[in-house]
Structure 1
Amino acid sequence: MRILNICAYTWAIGGPARIIYDHTTEVLAQGHQVDILSPMTPGEKSYPLPAGARLIECPRSTPISNYYREFSIAMYRYLKAHIQEYDVIHMHGIWHFGSLAPFLLPNHAVLVITIHGLLDHWAVNHSKWKKQLVTLLYQKRLLGKADLIQINNTDEEQDVIRYLGYRPKNMVIVPNGMKASEYANLPEKGIFRSKYGIATDKRMILFMGRLNIKKGLDLLLPAFLKIHEQVPEAVLVLAGPDDGYQTQTENFIKAHCLENKIKLVGMLTDTVKKEALSDADMFALPSYSEGFSIAVLEAMTSKVPTLVSDRVGFGDYIKRYEAAYLAPLTVEGVAEGLLKILQDQNYAETRVKSAYRMVTENFDIKVVANQLLEEYKKVKKI
């Protein structure tokens, strides 16, 4: 098969780019061809490309793309010229031009949409008027026309049913995956702490994700404020690019004189990210909305005790395996979870073991890549 993924394939987009990378690596190994069509803003850094794949970068068309995500005349022109070459066109996410364009052109490809959590309550209500307009114009109709809708879990299944008003027959649950083997041998401890001036006697709480309110930073920051006097050795490391919440974060740090307690280190990639995971005493992501958090899987595979909400994309698995502290979406709930992991070593160690088993049994990329390929084949048109 020749497969085209459509996604903003950049470091800034986070999880979806990583998911495409890992899945593509496995698909190429089985003899398929993979292209990635990516709308790009000038200055954006593309995500690494697996050997054998091809990346087609398309500049976004401003000013329209400032209001309609990923709008790109160059993308449309590429599809118009080449869409007949593909057996599968896999669109990642909704609400943007990349999930509309393939439906505008005649083709024989299997049209696949992965929701990536973008129909949960929080996501639908964010920029609500724009999404209501897109819904009215085309979004519901196109979801019904897709040959395959990939969702990651039963929560997302309910989100789609609520949005459409029915359960589409073309919807399948296939979780995202990751290369667990990449986290088997982390860098030596102490490297990240040395780079960022974090002493070895400090308890390092790691947050990795875009600095966006949907990640629960409005809960995590005041929760840390509540507990830092009880655990004076605690340090909170916020690792991620600004996505609308950095100014509020900096103001919070300044207002509460936490400059020595909370560190903004920007986006971490490759080896530096693994150095941070190696040095972390715990990981925290009390998110309001995630399609399927690869960052959480990375922490769990790195054997870091983890605090999350049940909205990270696989809350049902976490409950079943007792794989993390599932915090309610309140400041008090997050604060209690921070204290539980930092102060109860047996609890933390038990959760680490359960989490590692959960990831390796359910989310290793070799397992889930084959599941998705089989779903492609079931609806293949030629």
Structure 2
Amino acid sequence: MRILNICAYTWQAGGPPKIIFDHTQVVLRYGHQVDILSPFTPGEKPYPVPEGARLILCQRTPLVSRFFREFSVELYQYLQKHVHEYDVIHCHGLWHFGTLAPFMLDRKVAKVITIHGVLDRWVYAHHNWKKELMNTLAQKAYLRRADLVQINNTDEQEDVLRYLGQPHPNVVIIPNGVKTSDFIQLPPKGTFRQKFSIPTDKKLVLFMSRLNVKKGLGLLLPGFREYVREHPDTILALAGSDDGYEATTRQFINQHNLGDSIRLVGMLTGDDKKAALADADLFTLPSYSEGFSMAVLEAMAAGTPTLVSDRVGFSDAIRQHNAAGVLSSLTPEAVKAGLENLLGDDLLRKQVAQNASNMVKKQYDIDVVAKQLLDEYAKIIRKK
């Protein structure tokens, strides 16, 4: 198969580039061809590309991309010339130009859209005028025309139905996967603490995601403030690039004199990310909305106990396997209670971490889920 992924393939884009990277490594082992078509702006850092795959960068069109960030005449021109060279075109997300252009140009090549959580009620309510305009420009019609809609969980099935107003003829649930073998060998304990001067006698809570309002920082920060007043032997490390919430976070830290208790350590990659997971006593993501959180999957694969909201994309499985602490509600008080429950019980943290590790190996290893997607590709190609 000749497969084209369309996505903003940069470090700034969050989870989808990581998902594409891991899937592509498996797909290449099966002997298929993979290209990645990405809009970009000069100065952005592309995500790494698996050996054997090809990244095609198309510059965003000035002025228009100020309002519709992914708009790129170069991307349209590439598809216009090469669209029929592919067996499958896989679009990631909605309401960006890369999800519209293939449908504008072609009806023959099999097309897949992965929702990535963007139809969640919380997400859909934000920047709604742009989304309504894109709907007018045929986003709904093109989603109906997709040969396959990949979703990550049953909640997204309801989101697709609500958005389209009718069932889509081919929706399949395939969760995100993680390369569990990447987390077998972690850096020595203490590596992250030493690099960022975090005392060894303090418990470490790790938040690792983009600094964005939807990630629940508005819950975590006040919840941790109340927790640390009673448990001053705890530090919260916030690891992630700024996505609109860093200034608010710094203001909160300064306003409440939490400079010794909350550290912003920037975006972590590679061994630094693994070292943080190895040193953390608890990973937390109290997010309002996730398609299927790669950050939580990676924390679980690394054996780090986790505390999450029920919106991380696979909370039903988490509860079924008792694989994490799940917040009782999306409030600062619930965050504080969750921290007290897990940080106050070493045996409980050890048990949920072991349960999570077992669950991830069985259900979410990348070799398992990537093969599921390849099988679905083959089905829609045969139908074409």
Q: What TM-score do the two structures reach when normalised by structure 1?
A: 0.98
Q: What is the one-letter code of the residue matched to 2:370? A: A
Shift of 1:129: 1.6
- Output the CA distance in 2 between the equivalents of 1:165 and 1:108: 25
2:380 matches 1:379: yes
Q: Partner of 2:343 in structure 1?
A: 342
Q: Partner of 1:368 in structure 2?
A: 369
Any gaps of 5 or more consecutive residues in structure 1?
none
- Output the CA distance in 2 between the equivalents of 1:299 and 1:223: 21
Q: Is the 8 A contact 1:69 1:95 kept in 2?
A: no
Q: Partner of 1:206 in structure 2?
A: 206
Shift of 1:345: 1.3
Q: Partner of 1:130 in structure 2?
A: 130
Q: Partner of 1:163 in structure 2?
A: 163
- Output the CA distance in 1 between the equivalents of 2:234 and 2:63: 44
Q: What is the one-letter code of the residue matched to 2:39? A: P
Q: Partner of 1:314 in structure 2?
A: 314
Q: Partner of 1:53 in structure 2?
A: 53
After TM superposition, the structure 1 stretch with the greater mean CA deviation from structure 2, 329-338 or 105-114, is 105-114
Q: What is the one-letter code of the residue matched to 1:335? A: K
- Output the CA distance in 2 between the equivalents of 1:342 and 1:31: 46
Q: Partner of 1:99 in structure 2?
A: 99
Q: Deviations over 1:221-257 (max 9, x none)?
A: 0000010022111101000010000010000000000
Shift of 1:134: 1.6
- Output the CA distance in 2 between the equivalents of 1:217 and 1:69: 25
Aligned positions of 1:325-340 closer than 5 A: 325-327=325-327, 328-340=329-341
Shift of 1:136: 2.8
Q: What is the one-letter code of the residue matched to 1:358? A: M
Shift of 1:372: 0.4
Q: Partner of 2:276 in structure 1?
A: 276
Q: Deviations over 1:197-237 (max 9, x none)?
A: 10111111100111000000000000000100221111010
- Output the CA distance in 2 between the equivalents of 1:106 and 1:325: 46
Q: Partner of 1:3 in structure 2?
A: 3
Q: Is the 8 A contact 1:4 1:34 kept in 2?
A: yes
- Output the CA distance in 1 between the equivalents of 2:22 and 2:287: 23
Name the % identity: 58
Q: Is the 8 A contact 1:111 1:146 kept in 2?
A: yes
Shift of 1:69: 2.7
Local SS of the residue matching 2:47? coil
- Output the CA distance in 1 between the equivalents of 2:310 and 2:119: 15
- Output the CA distance in 2 between the equivalents of 1:91 and 1:231: 46
Q: Partner of 1:258 in structure 2?
A: 258
Runs of 4+ in 1 over 6 A off after TM superposition: none
Shift of 1:14: 1.8
Paired residues in the alignment total: 382
Q: What is the one-letter code of the residue matched to 1:379? A: I
Local SS of the residue matching 2:229? coil
Shift of 1:154: 0.3
Q: Deviations over 1:331-381 (max 9, x none)?
A: 111111111111011211111111111111110011001100111111105
- Output the CA distance in 2 between the equivalents of 1:316 and 1:112: 26
Q: Deviations over 1:177-213 (max 9, x none)?
A: 1100100110001111111110111111100111000
- Output the CA distance in 2 between the equivalents of 1:66 and 1:287: 27
Any gaps of 5 or more consecutive residues in structure 2?
none
- Output the CA distance in 1 between the equivalents of 2:362 and 2:34: 27
Local SS of the residue matching 1:89? strand
Q: Partner of 1:355 in structure 2?
A: 356
After TM superposition, the structure 1 stretch with the greater mean CA deviation from structure 2, 364-373 or 163-172, is 163-172
Q: CA RMSD in A?
A: 0.9
After TM superposition, the structure 1 stretch with the greater mean CA deviation from structure 2, 238-247 or 136-145, is 136-145
- Output the CA distance in 2 between the equivalents of 1:132 and 1:209: 28
Q: What is the one-letter code of the residue matched to 1:260? A: D
Q: Partner of 2:301 in structure 1?
A: 301
Local SS of the residue matching 2:186? coil
After TM superposition, the structure 1 stretch with the greater mean CA deviation from structure 2, 61-70 or 305-314, is 61-70
Q: What TM-score do the two structures reach when normalised by structure 2?
A: 0.98
Shift of 1:166: 1.7
Q: What is the one-letter code of the residue matched to 2:325? A: Y
